[in-house]
Amino acid sequence: MKLVIKDLEFCYASRTILNKITMELRPSEMLGIIGPNGSGKSTLIQCIDGLLKPKMGSILLDGSDIKYISRKDMAKKMGYVPQTTSRSFFPSTVLDAVLMGRRPHLGWRSSDKDVRDVIEVLRLIGIEDLAMSDINELSGGQQQKVLIARAIAQEPSVLLLDEPTSNLDIKHQLEVTEIIREKVIERNISAIMAVHDLNLASKYTDRIIMMKDGKIFDMGTPKSVLTAENIRSVYGVVAEVINNNGGSPHIIPVRSLRRYKSAIMGA
């Protein structure tokens, strides 16, 4: 599945959120979207899934504009994992929650086979022991895994993830990202992941899109995008970038540029 985005623009009333976004997602690729708060990462992801209607530009999925694809057909092609918020759900078991991912492929009844498929997905994610637990009683990390499981049960060709690790501890951050990375390889799907942690982006994605003020600031391999200069101009942060022989770059934030400036001015 190939996704091409051309000159995408999105506005809320008078404020332009996305400005002339042109990019593509290659088959079996994991693409990271990074950028400061308010740079348009979530909006871009929601536009791609058709949840928000862009003002201009086109989003082509294997050549056809998503404007003309029905919600149900979209659901067979794209799986969306929203940001975890600590919202309460109506009580539901994890198994039932993930079974909802089968909806685009189901009629009214769910068969034992669907339940088995769901159990398999739970096993892939490693939460099969939670199958019969109430989703409200799970930790943030576990709820995030349930949402990812549901998106995978959808059997999409493209996974869209909106900061899937923002509320998680280090172990769960790594675990969740590794799971997504594995699925991308195993199931031959592509993924777009908005992420705050630059090191996670560096370690797990094939390419990175760096956004600033609704525009694409830079695009390319982690090594080419995650440079000290880029981080300085996009985030206003002085960072040290360690390129350990050929591997993914490692970013160590040093200080924010603003405090640095005011410190100089104070002196």
* Angle value at C-alpha 178, between 172 and 179, nearest 5 degrees: 90
Taking CB under 8 A as the rule, does residue 249 contact other proteins? no
Q: In angstroms, what CA-CA distances link 99 with 31, 106, 114, 165, 244? A: 27, 10, 7, 23, 43
Taking CB under 8 A as the rule, does residue 50 contact other proteins? yes
Taking CB under 8 A as the rule, does residue 104 contact other proteins? yes
- Please, what is the minimum distance in Å from the beta carbon of residue 4 to other proteins? 20
160-189 residues near other proteins, rule: CB under 8 A: 160
- Please, what is the minimum distance in Å from the beta carbon of residue 67 to other proteins? 14
Closer CB to other proteins, residue 159 or residue 226? 159
- Please, what is the minimum distance in Å from the beta carbon of residue 158 to other proteins? 11
- Please, what is the minimum distance in Å from the beta carbon of residue 247 to other proteins? 18
Let me know: does 248 contact 223? Beta carbons within 8 Å.
Answer: yes
Q: In angstroms, what CA-CA distances link 258 with 70, 214, 235, 264? A: 47, 22, 10, 10
Query: Quick one: which H or E segment has residue 178?
Result: helix 170-186
Taking CB under 8 A as the rule, does residue 49 contact other proteins? yes
Binds other proteins by CB under 8 A, chosen from 2, 6, 20, 103:
103
Report, in this order, helix, strand and coil percent for the chain, each rounded to 5.
Answer: 40, 30, 30
Q: Tokens 């280090």 sit at which residue?
A: 170
Taking CB under 8 A as the rule, does residue 143 contact other proteins? no
CA-based nearest residue to 135, from 124, 122, 146, 150: 146
Q: DSSP character for 99?
A: H
CA–CA dist 63, 59 (Å, integer):
9
Binds other proteins by CB under 8 A, chosen from 96, 221, 233, 248:
96
Closer CB to other proteins, residue 134 or residue 206? 134
Per-residue binder mask for other proteins (CB under 8 A), 110-139, x = binder: --x--xx--xx-xx--x-xx-xx-x-x---
Closer CB to other proteins, residue 115 or residue 257? 115
61-80 residues near other proteins, rule: CB under 8 A: 71-76, 78-80
Q: DSSP character for 50?
A: T
Let me know: does 193 contact 205? Beta carbons within 8 Å.
Answer: yes
Residues in the site for other proteins, rule: CB under 8 A?
46, 49-51, 71-76, 78-80, 82, 87-93, 95-97, 100-101, 103-104, 106, 108, 112, 115-116, 119-120, 122-123, 126, 128-129, 131-132, 134, 136, 147, 150, 154, 160
